[in-house]
Amino acid sequence: MTGASILTVVLLAAAAVAPGASAAEGVRQSGTFTWTSARPGAPTGYAMAVDFYDPADPAAKPHTLKTLIVRFPNGAVVDTGALPQCKATDAELYLEGPKACPADSRVGGGTIVTDTGSTMSSIPRYAVNDVTQFNNQDEVIGVAVSETDPPVTAVSRSKLEGETSTTEIPIFPGSPPPEPFTAFRRMRLSVPAIVRDGRAYGLTPPTCPPQRYWTIAMTFVYYDGVSQSIESHSPCRGRP
């Protein structure tokens, strides 16, 4: 996908924000998080799609994301003991990229489009980053490698605690405004349903609510202190 077509996708994204984000701040992101299974208590993967923008000027560089928090409904399970784990250090991941992790510890991946805000022809404004996700004890390791020359590697660790995933986003320089950091434009990540030796990596909650959907909340904390949330509905049906 070209930089122009990526930008078109971002500009056409529809905004949705949960109560608690001030209208004065403006909505900075839109997105969804849905499970691949609609059956309660079933093995599942997920698909996550988020677009970021400056509410005052959709063509401008977005604000820089600092922390991403995803909260799942009660009873959802991510069993990191069900699969082989990647024990590579951050130093090894930056040096070797995805090759630092065992192939059988891979759980998913996707792409992230970043925006440096650059106005110089010698520095590309947009970059597509190929993301590979690996399993580790109580966390998901993300390794992003940019499709640039030379490539740039970024490493993140999403900490899993109960029904909550917390990711601190690695920081890279960028051109202001609004901040002197590189920002996200577009995030597309997915994980398939994985079952190994009869044990599922991910399970949907054991029951389906009366409204026939589960609610997954995503909270976005930015470097300027603004925090906004999105509630995404993942359809469900019947009983286990």
Give how many domains the chain has, as a whole number.
1
With respect to residue 191, please indicate whether it lies within any of the assigned structural domains: yes
With respect to residue 239, please indicate whether it lies within any of the assigned structural domains: no
Our measurement of the distance from residue 179's CA atom to the centroid of its chain's CA atoms, rounded to an integer in Å, reads 21
Which structural domain range is residue 188 located in?
A: 3-234
With respect to residue 159, please indicate whether it lies within any of the assigned structural domains: yes
Residue-level pLDDT at 123: 87
- The DSSP line for the chain is --HHHHHHHHHHPPP---TTS-TTT---EEEEEEES--STT-B--EEEEEEE--TT-TTSPPPPEEEEEEEPPTT-EE-GGGS------HHHHHHHGGGGS-GGGEEEEEEEEEE-----TTS-SEEEEEEEEEEETTEEEEEEEESSSS--EEEEEEEEETTEEEEEPP--B-PPSS-SB-EEEEEEEEE---EETTEESEE--SS--TTSEEEEEEEEEETTS-EEEEEEEEE--S--
Higher pLDDT, 8 or 190: 190
pLDDT band, residue 16 (cuts 50/70/90): very low
Q: What is the Cα–Cα distance from 213 to 38, expressed in whole angstroms?
A: 8
With respect to residue 68, please indicate whether it lies within any of the assigned structural domains: yes
pLDDT digits (tens, 9 = 90+) for 54-93: 999 999 999 999 999 999 999 999 999 999 999 999 999 9
Query: Is the distance from CB of 35 to CB of 205 less than 8 angstroms?
Result: no
Q: What is the Cα–Cα distance from 10 to 41, expressed in whole angstroms?
A: 35
- Residue 75: is it exposed, middle or buried by C-beta count within 10 angstroms (0-12/13-18/19+)? middle
Residue-level pLDDT at 15: 34
- The DSSP line for 114-177 is EE-----TTS-SEEEEEEEEEEETTEEEEEEEESSSS--EEEEEEEEETTEEEEEPP--B-PPS
With respect to residue 124, please indicate whether it lies within any of the assigned structural domains: yes
pLDDT digits (tens, 9 = 90+) for 100-142: 999 999 999 999 999 999 999 888 999 999 999 999 999 999 9
pLDDT score of 12 more than 50 = no
Residue-level pLDDT at 25: 67
With respect to residue 240, please indicate whether it lies within any of the assigned structural domains: no
pLDDT score of 189 more than 70 = yes
Residue-level pLDDT at 3: 36
Residue-level pLDDT at 122: 83
**CA-closest candidate to residue 192, choices 73, 109, 79, 130:** 109
pLDDT band, residue 239 (cuts 50/70/90): low
With respect to residue 170, please indicate whether it lies within any of the assigned structural domains: yes
Q: How much is the average pLDDT of 28-35?
A: 98
